[in-house]
């Protein structure tokens, strides 16, 4: 009598990532965040790959929801992303008296686009993103952030932001932008170009005379004040009317992220919104309001923090 044998089940290779050990993701980057680190407990790795431009990791965390990580640095989490997206979007949008045409550079997760299209006054919002994989993964895993990609006012350009701005430089004045939002990665590798004087010059050339710019500063006063002061000086060499502002985001190392807001108008007070949210618009917001705008947009003189 022969006994039937059962083949053992095939082994399934679960996703792994070198930054996840013992169930914890660790963000350690001595260049961007010297002397400290950040960790999030992982429930499940949802995706890991190397795109043509960067290392991409998406995981489900125990307390922050889905987390998107690019080149080892947290870009957003479901739990607190609105604090960043609303400030980087609505500070410039409410500083402009009537923004109709908006450009977003970076921001492939879709969060900034989602906020921009909340303004009824806009006619078009163009997203320039170099890595289509980020957009695809955001549509799959970050459903609440990526809702605006199919909005009728949204146009997506898959190209390098620098090259796109060089094209805009030669456009007619009426074709240029009222608001530009730079939602770039941190200043390492190719993204380092987004923090140089030439980039700010291109941004100035892409704005109308009353245009407003805001840029992710990738830093705050508690981590590398020397770098931040230099970046503000660079921006002010192109936009004399420049202020530092910030937002509080727990999943970013140190819990605070700096922004730089600039205007081509010398006499525009960047600390006070030019227009106020309508009742309908304010009802769509969870973080931004006129009071927090005035509180978190501050002087570009950061010398006191050196004391």
Q: Is 234 helix (H, G, I), strand (E, B) or coil?
A: helix
Q: Which of 30-34, 79-83, 146-150, 267-271 has the lowest mean pLDDT?
A: 30-34
- Res 306: pLDDT: 45
Instruction: Check if 183 is active-site.
Output: yes
Portion of the chain with pLDDT greater than 70, in percent: 89
Q: Which of 6-15, 46-55, 190-199, 248-257 has the lowest mean pLDDT?
A: 6-15
Number of residues in the chain: 307
Domains with residue ranges and CATH for the chain? 20-77 (2.30.140.10), 81-306 (3.40.50.150)
For the cut 60, the answer to whether the pLDDT of residue 191 exceeds it is no
Query: Phi/psi class of residue 25: alpha, beta or left (left: φ > 0; alpha: ψ in -120 to 50)?
Result: beta
Return the bridge partners of 129, or none. 158
Q: Two tokens at 220?
A: 């705050």
Residue 138 in contact with residue 60, Cβ under 8 Å?
Answer: no
**pLDDT-based confidence at 283, cuts 50/70/90?**
very high
More confident residue, 236 or 222: 236
Among candidates 217, 216, 252, which has minimal Cα distance to 33?
252
Rounded to two decimals, the pTM is 0.91
d(CA 244, CA 215): 10
Q: Two tokens at 260?
A: 């730089």
d(CA 45, CA 23): 10
Report DSSP state, residue 110.
S
- Res 140: pLDDT: 98
- Res 96: pLDDT: 98
For the cut 90, the answer to whether the pLDDT of residue 292 exceeds it is yes
d(CA 183, CA 185): 7
Residue 90: phi and psi, rounded to 5, are -85, -25
Among candidates 117, 119, 124, which has minimal Cα distance to 177?
124
Residue 32 neighbours by CB under 8 Å, 6+ apart? 73, 186, 187, 188, 218, 219, 253
For the cut 50, the answer to whether the pLDDT of residue 77 exceeds it is yes
Q: Is 201 helix (H, G, I), strand (E, B) or coil?
A: helix
Catalytic residue among 183, 209, 224, 267: 183
Query: What digits encode the pLDDT tens for the residues 144-184?
Result: 999 999 999 999 999 999 899 999 988 988 899 999 999 97
Among candidates 87, 84, 80, which has minimal Cα distance to 296?
87
């Amino acid at each position: 009598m022969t006994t039937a044998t059962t083949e053992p089940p095939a082994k399934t290779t679960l996703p792994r990532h070198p930054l996840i050990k013992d169930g914890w993701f660790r963000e350690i980057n001595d260049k961007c965040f010297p002397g400290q680190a950040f960790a999030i407990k992982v429930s499940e790795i949802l995706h890991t790959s190397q795109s043509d431009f960067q290392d991409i990791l998406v995981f489900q965390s125990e307390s922050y929801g889905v987390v998107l990580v690019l080149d080892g640095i947290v870009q957003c989490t479901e739990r607190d992303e609105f604090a960043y997206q609303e400030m980087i979007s609505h500070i410039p949008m409410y500083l402009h008296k009537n923004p109709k045409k908006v450009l977003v550079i970076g921001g492939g997760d879709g969060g900034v686009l989602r906020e921009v299209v909340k303004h009824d006054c806009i006619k078009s919002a163009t997203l320039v993103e170099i890595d289509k994989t980020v957009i695809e993964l955001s549509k799959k895993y970050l459903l609440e952030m990526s809702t605006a990609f199919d909005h009728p006012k949204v146009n997506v350009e898959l190209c390098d932001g620098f090259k796109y701005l060089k094209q805009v430089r030669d456009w007619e004045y009426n074709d240029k932008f009222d608001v530009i939002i730079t939602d770039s990665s941190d200043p390492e590798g190719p993204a380092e170009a987004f923090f140089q004087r030439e980039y700010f010059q291109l941004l100035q050339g892409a704005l109308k005379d009353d245009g407003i710019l805001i840029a992710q500063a990738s830093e705050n006063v508690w981590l590398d004040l020397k770098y931040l002061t230099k970046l503000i000086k660079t921006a002010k060499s192109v936009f004399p009317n420049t202020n530092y502002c910030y937002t509080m985001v727990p999943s970013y190392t140190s819990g605070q992220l700096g922004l730089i807001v600039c205007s081509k108008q010398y006499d525009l007070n960047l600390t006070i919104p030019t227009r106020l949210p309508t009742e309908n618009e304010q009802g769509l917001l969870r973080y931004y309001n006129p009071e927090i705008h005035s509180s978190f947009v501050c002087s570009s003189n950061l010398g006191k923090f050196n004391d």
